[in-house]
Amino acid sequence: MYRKSVLPNGLRVLTSEMPHTRSATVSVYVGAGSRYEADEEAGLSHFLEHMLFKGASRRPTAKEISVAIEGVGGISNAATDRELTVYYAKVPHTAVLEAIDVIADMVSAPIMDPNELEKERHVILEELAAIEDNPAELAGILVDETLWPKQPLGRTIGGTPESVRALPSSAVERYLRSQYVPGNMVLAVAGNVRHEEVVQAAERWLGGMRSGTPRPWYPAVDRDGAAPVAVREKVTEQAHVCIAFPSVPLGHPDRYAVDIVSALLGEGMSSRLFLELREERALVYDVHSYASGFRDAGCLTIYAGCDPENARVTAEAIVEEVEKLRRSVPEDELEKAKEMVRGRVLLRLEDTRAVSGWIGAQELLLDRVLTVDEVLERIDAVTVDDVRRVLEAHFRPEVGVLAAVGPFEDVAPFEGLVGAG
């Protein structure tokens, strides 16, 4: 599925050759994210991500960077998460070397103009303001803060308006020098490309980067008796409720059983939560679940949007469905869920951007890449006993947390549902 080379300075170069495509996606993954930031630095990784689009050595303006990609019909963007930042460009395969040039220049030689930095600070504040207008997203942020309180893993990735306003330019530049070093980066290219040509381009444009030792990430710490329920009062038409259960890290063998649990509970219109809360009881328009995995922790989150007057009964119904699944996992239902998870993996990997992400993220976070066949084998191997064991270990109400955004003055509507143990 892929080939790997390592440059003398430690940069890992991975390719997945897809000769049947007419596109290619170039991605650079960096070990930089909110888990690497102290409290006073909240939002630092995201701030730096923005700055790298403002100009680099061979294209000193934001316009020149965007024209280089868009001028060939391509798209480029970036994303910051808790454990990584990724920069990518998807282009026609004939422009892949130019795309490598552009992304490599951005991550290795950004200009970091102080005037542009101050302008971008205001742009980021607008981005944070947009989140305030999205109560469903706020509920997801709040449930993470409740599950992992007072630590980087549970903190908002973009930081707060206060932390963004206070970040000095010197901190952004120090962070760049610390984290953007070749041993902490992966170049992943997927599409109609040749591995040898990609490696040559990497040597040309990234081979001269100086090696360095990046700062470590902050490990997850126990909740230590923190409140299991949190609310954010906001004038909304709907209540936005999230319930989260701690689960397993990204590299844990049980991660596939957790994925199956999520599929059973809340992925798609045939899931238990959708059928019960929407089709049967008409409590919600949207209810879904998703699993998240990190280096040393994980969780499964369930979201529902409902009338505020139905917020408690909706939350009760979610907990009831989890309890029903704990009591009984029918073999035929498990097989259908496994088939869904398998199918989604296969469909996703038709796209060069998804394949680039598959190889790049795994290499950065796990130092290895599982092939599609290996992942499918692990999904197939999940048994009813595995699902029951995972449900018993991680999905008891007493270990869950709940967060809600809506017209609630306090946590009273949700007391006693989770976190009683």
| pLDDT value of position 1 | 81
Indicate if 234 and 153 belong to the same structural domain. Answer: no
Helix H segments across 52-168?
A: 62-70, 96-108, 114-132, 135-147, 161-166
Q: Looking at residue 391, what is its pLDDT?
A: 97
Catalytically annotated residue among 49, 116, 120, 267:
49
Distance, in Å, from the CA atom of 69 to the CA atom of 48, rounded to the nearest integer, reads 20
Q: Could you tell me if 48 and 186 lie in one domain?
A: yes
Regarding whether 36 and 88 lie in a shared domain, the answer is yes
- Please work out, in degrees rounded to the nearest 5, the angle formed at the alpha carbon of residue 362 by the alpha carbons of 108 and 189: 50
Within a domain: 135:
yes
Distance CA 207, CA 51 (A): 22
User: Would you say residue 216 lies in a domain?
Assistant: no
For residue 242, give the nearest of 266, 224, 222 by alpha carbon.
266
Domain co-membership, 195 together with 252: no
Q: Of the candidates 345, 387, 363, 368, which has an alpha carbon nearest to the alpha carbon of residue 247?
A: 387
> What residue spans of 4-95 are helical by DSSP H?
44-51, 62-70
Domain shared by 292 and 179, yes or no = no
CB 66: neighbour CB atoms within 10 A?
16
Query: How many Cβ atoms from other residues are within 10 Å of residue 344's Cβ?
Result: 14
Show which of 175, 206, 237 is a domain's final residue: 206
Domain membership flag for residue 420:
no
Residues 6+ apart with CB under 8 A from 98: 68, 72, 91
**pLDDT in single tens digits along all 421 residues of the chain:** 899 999 999 999 999 999 999 999 999 999 999 999 999 999 999 999 999 999 999 999 999 999 999 999 999 999 999 999 999 999 999 999 999 999 999 999 999 999 999 999 999 999 999 999 999 999 999 999 999 999 999 999 999 999 999 999 999 999 999 999 999 999 999 999 999 999 999 999 999 999 999 999 999 999 988 999 999 999 999 999 999 999 999 999 999 999 999 999 999 999 999 999 999 999 999 999 999 999 999 999 999 999 999 999 999 999 999 999 999 999 999 999 999 999 999 998 989 999 999 999 999 999 999 999 999 999 999 999 999 999 999 999 999 999 999 999 999 999 999 996 5
Phi, psi for residue 237 in degrees, rounded to 5: -75, -35
- Comparing C-alpha atoms, which of 364, 360, 358 is closest to residue 27? 360
Query: What's the domain range around 166?
Result: 3-206
Whether 280 is covered by a domain: the verdict is: yes
Q: Are both 303 and 410 inside the same structural domain?
A: yes
Give domain status of residue 279, yes or no.
yes
In a domain, 421, yes or no: no
Helix (H, G, I), strand (E, B) or coil at 248: coil
* CA distances in angstroms from 271 to 128, 248, 255, 288, 336, listed in the order given: 33, 22, 19, 9, 10
Question: Of the residues 144, 172, 206, which one is the last residue of a structural domain?
Answer: 206
Query: pTM (2 decimals)?
Result: 0.96
> Are 240 and 184 in the same domain?
no
Same domain, 158 and 66: yes
Provide the pLDDT for residue 16: 97
Is 49 one of the annotated active-site residues of the chain? Answer: yes
Residue 421 is predicted with a pLDDT of: 52
**59 and 123, same domain (yes or no):** yes
Which residue, 171, 191, 206, sits at the end of a domain? 206
In a 13 Å sphere around the CA of 392, the CA atoms on its Cβ side amount to: 9
CATH of the domain at 132: 3.30.830.10
Q: 181 with 81, same domain?
A: yes
Whether residue 260 sits in one domain with residue 124: no
Structure tokens at 163: 């932390």
Please tell me whether residues 243 and 202 are part of one structural domain.
Answer: no
| pLDDT for the residue 276 | 97
Tally of structural domains, the chain? 2
* Domain contains 221: no
Specify if 168 maps to a domain.
Answer: yes
